[in-house]
Amino acid sequence: MGLTKRIGNIPGMAKKQPLKSGEKILLGIFGAFFCLAAIGYVVLESVRLTSEKPMFTQTTFFNFSEEGKIGHGYYMKANCNACHRAVRSGTSMGLSLDGIGSKRSIDWLEQFLLEPERVYEGPTIDHGVGKEAGNIIARLSEDKIRPIAVFLSELKAVAGSSVSKVPPPERSEFIDGMVGSWAPEGWKEKYEDVRDRIKREEGEAADRDAADEEVIDAR
């Protein structure tokens, strides 16, 4: 009370100064932006909450096995989240790992964690000997690497999304037509349709498993 009184009494300082017109304009502009942002937020949220269709389609999903859950625990404890994004948390400093299991195999992931430079066939930024992520992984005991790789391999993506190596299941007549008429003849021998390749690889893997089982049976 006493303080305000004393300040108010300083000579030459008016009790209540009216705003200058420049100040009014600035305040007005700021106010308009603020109101616009607030209205925009309210409209966006009300549309998002009442709309039947999700505004952002979710293209990654996960369904963890027991080992995957354990791996998730190791992943969180090792603070991989400091650079990566996965399972709806983390940062975007490094790569997002959501959906990585649809792009990389479990063995690839394990090998990457152990020997990133060799797997990348080139220099790395944070993974590798003496680097930040490399040091974190070097401090983990070796039996934790496999569960982390299992966890990562279970971060899946919907076919056709940007993180999946598999194109969407439905075929586009337009794209098929364009490829048919514009792709050079040589490409047909050089490249294989990813869908055909995946089917072939799955078939080969099944054959291999069957052969392995026969060997076991024969013993």
Q: Which residues bind ligand HEC (CB under 6 A)?
A: 75, 78, 80, 82-84, 94-95, 100, 104, 109, 112-113, 116, 124-127, 132-133, 136-137, 148, 152
Place of tokens 């439905």: 170
| Shortest Å distance, C-beta 158 to ligand HEC | 17
Nearer to ligand HEC, 30 or 120 (CB): 120
**Smallest distance from ligand HEC to CB 81, Å:** 8
In the complex, the smallest distance separating the C-beta of residue 131 from ligand HEC, rounded to whole angstroms, is: 7
As measured in angstroms, the least distance from the Cβ of 69 to ligand HEC is 15
Of 91 and 172, the one with the shorter C-beta distance to ligand HEC is 91
For Cα atoms 66, 70, 73, give the angle at the middle one, nearest 5 degrees. Answer: 145
104 versus 156: smaller Cβ distance to ligand HEC: 104
What gap in Å lies between CA 145 and CA 46, rounded to an integer?
A: 44
Q: Nearest-5° angle of CA 62, CA 63, CA 68?
A: 95
Rounded CA separation 172/180 (Å): 12
Nearest approach in angstroms of CB 86 to ligand HEC is: 9
Comparison of 48 and 142: residue with beta carbon closer to ligand HEC: 142
Closer by beta carbon to ligand HEC, 82 or else 87: 82
- d(CA 112, CA 108) in angstroms, rounded, equals 6
Q: How far is the CB of 168 from ligand HEC (least distance, A)?
A: 21
Residue nearest to ligand HEC (CB): 80
Gap between the terminal Cα atoms of the chain: 96
70 Cβ neighbours under 8 A, 6+ residues apart: 147, 151
Contact between 71 and 152 under an 8 Å Cβ cutoff? The reply is yes
Do the beta carbons of residue 111 and residue 119 sit within 8 Å? Answer: yes
CA distance linking residue 78 with residue 72, whole number of Å: 10
Nearer to ligand HEC, 76 or 159 (CB): 76
